Structure 1
């Protein structure tokens, strides 16, 4: 089934309709043992992403950090002044757990900071084929530990988009198991939280989502033989008791809609305050970032963060 079997509805903006008109999901993956092929795919994908949204065009300054051996991009929006105990959003980039690092991570971190309106630390976590699971998750945990040494947990926020949502949610499971305090809140935008792809929309929206298709091959590369049902790989299957308040966002054409709504229900069942936002006709990751719907999603996330410790002045000035 092709996405163009389902024309864009009149219920969304013109920008959203234009985004839905094009198929962006076609991608051929190398064989699992083709290390060179995976590295070439990542290089091209990351170069393309970095070209699309130059960091210099954003009202954000980015500093490259080495945080206990992990590459981190610290992105500060204009108007957000540095302070000793300012809130920090620890953010994990998208990319199917195989791409999105380097300059692409630097760019997406800057865009995230511009939207969130606070200091963002984007973790350039290690990726397969050279660094499969649990290398990337280890990186995220190392940076989280460092933030907790410098800040009250109430000033730390954690989140991620798509594959980054996997790392972010798994990070909190690891942190809880290690006896570390939880952050002030968690943000999961169209999160990839079940690598087994068991949810309903992996079938009902296959070919409907014009941005994303099954990631079974990249999932296998990332897991490197580990059981995909392990909670650190598929966080929706973990014990979510004690998680902080969580924001979740998806769309009615998002292949990961099942992942998102199942995560929301699991959080609610665990007694966690969780807000779910599902946007009309939105495919995976939104409508390209510039539509009214995308801006509304960013505004909802800002309101959520403001309700959990980010000063309203910083939200308004960014």
Structure 2
């Protein structure tokens, strides 16, 4: 085809420009044949709902096995609450530093990540930011396709706005959670709801049409997300137009959005999403930071590497800045936990 680059087969080594710990982790994600292990996963057809349910159960079992023998995320106390059809897990950090709260939207290709991964994510974010964290355990397809997950996120945001001032709320989303976080704020803004003080997006999946350049250039190079998510996208969309801004929020408008932190890596399949979203925010005169990490695949290096630690530091600095929190231990104040205690009752 005219205008199409024809590249010779190449062997691409692990990047020498990243830390030894990151290289070691990446090496474990590749088979002896030089293929990303995640590329070997077989996905059901979009219409095979029973197959997707089996895959969801398998994913949950693997996550439980991974957590076996571990003691959770620093033991952050956790409660589960419901608001209508929406489930939220609320985690209290061991040393909270503010009355502010973090609303977390988990990843998982809009199909996975519910239940235990969402609960653990709440604990991790609570400890990282030292804020009470509300994690939306949104409903997923095939039983609950679009717009169920988006409605759950809106319900959670309204729930927080009824109890906290908007300037005391930061919203964060990872991968598919980034999609829902941005789409939710589009809806919230259009409904006249106030914006939060900040938005954190980690490798956001904001374009379900997968039109960005990195979906070609980083295909099979990303050891975490080596292939297209189109089957998951179509399962979630359930016949709706993938280009609609509620499904692909990259194509929405961004006037009046809060300050935004965006992260990706040079080997992330979704790198183009981050780059294009950053440009869209800047063009709308939104204060937006773009952090691209060398050699990093989708979701980071698995934790514990210098790069992951660097990202964590950038995240906490950004959130503290949005909330105007001082970083000095001497200025630390004990927050009022009245709201948390009143609403966090073990109802499930």
TM-score of the superposition, structure 1-length normalised?
Answer: 0.94
Q: Work out whether 1:110 is the aligned partner of 2:128.
A: no
Aligned partners of 1:168, 1:35: CA distance in 2, in Å? 26
| Counterparts in 2 of 1:159 and 1:314: CA distance versus 1, 3 Å | farther
Residues 55-98 of structure 1, C-alpha deviations (whole Å, 9 max, x = no match) = 733222211111333111111221117x7xx1111110010000
Residues 243-288 of structure 1, C-alpha deviations (whole Å, 9 max, x = no match) = 0000000000000000001000000000100000000000000000
Structure-2 residue corresponding to 1:245: 259
Aligned partners of 1:308, 1:239: CA distance in 2, in Å? 22
Q: How far is 1:314 from its partner?
A: 9.0
Q: How far is 1:52 from its partner?
A: 2.2
Structure-1 residue corresponding to 2:322: 308
Structure 1 gap ranges (5+): none
Structure-2 residue corresponding to 1:73: 89
Structure-2 residue corresponding to 1:159: 172
Structure-2 residue corresponding to 1:223: 237
Structure-2 residue corresponding to 1:297: 311
The answer as to whether partners of 2:106 and 2:173 remain within 8 angstroms in 1 is yes
Structure-2 residue corresponding to 1:47: 61
Q: How far is 1:289 from its partner?
A: 1.5
Structure-1 residue corresponding to 2:187: 174
The answer as to whether partners of 1:93 and 1:122 remain within 8 angstroms in 2 is yes
Further displaced range: 72-81 or 261-270: 72-81
Q: How far is 1:114 from its partner?
A: 2.3
After superposition, residues 189-208 of structure 1 pair within 5 angstroms as: 189-208=202-221
Aligned partners of 1:80, 1:53: CA distance in 2, in Å? 25
Q: How far is 1:119 from its partner?
A: 1.4
Aligned partners of 1:304, 1:50: CA distance in 2, in Å? 32
Q: Give the counterpart of 1:125 among 111, 122, 138.
A: 138
Q: Secondary structure at the match of 2:199?
A: strand
| Counterparts in 2 of 1:300 and 1:75: CA distance versus 1, 3 Å | same
Residues 168-215 of structure 1, C-alpha deviations (whole Å, 9 max, x = no match) = 000000101111110010000000000000000000000100100210
| Counterparts in 2 of 1:165 and 1:255: CA distance versus 1, 3 Å | same
Aligned partners of 1:140, 1:182: CA distance in 2, in Å? 14
Q: How far is 1:315 from its partner?
A: 8.7
Q: Secondary structure at the match of 1:312?
A: coil
| Counterparts in 2 of 1:229 and 1:285: CA distance versus 1, 3 Å | same
| Counterparts in 2 of 1:4 and 1:116: CA distance versus 1, 3 Å | farther
The answer as to whether partners of 2:73 and 2:120 remain within 8 angstroms in 1 is no
Aligned partners of 2:314, 2:329: CA distance in 1, in Å? 12
Q: Give the counterpart of 1:259 among 273, 282, 288.
A: 273
Q: Give the counterpart of 1:271 among 250, 266, 285.
A: 285
| Counterparts in 2 of 1:305 and 1:314: CA distance versus 1, 3 Å | farther
TM-score of the superposition, structure 2-length normalised?
Answer: 0.86
Aligned partners of 2:65, 2:284: CA distance in 1, in Å? 42
Further displaced range: 17-26 or 163-172: 17-26
Structure 2 gap ranges (5+): 1-6, 30-35, 333-348
Q: Give the counterpart of 1:61 among 70, 77, 82.
A: 77
Further displaced range: 124-133 or 20-29: 20-29
Q: How far is 1:313 from its partner?
A: 5.2
The answer as to whether partners of 2:72 and 2:120 remain within 8 angstroms in 1 is no
CA RMSD of aligned residues (A): 2.1
Q: Give the counterpart of 2:105 among 92, 102, 106.
A: 92
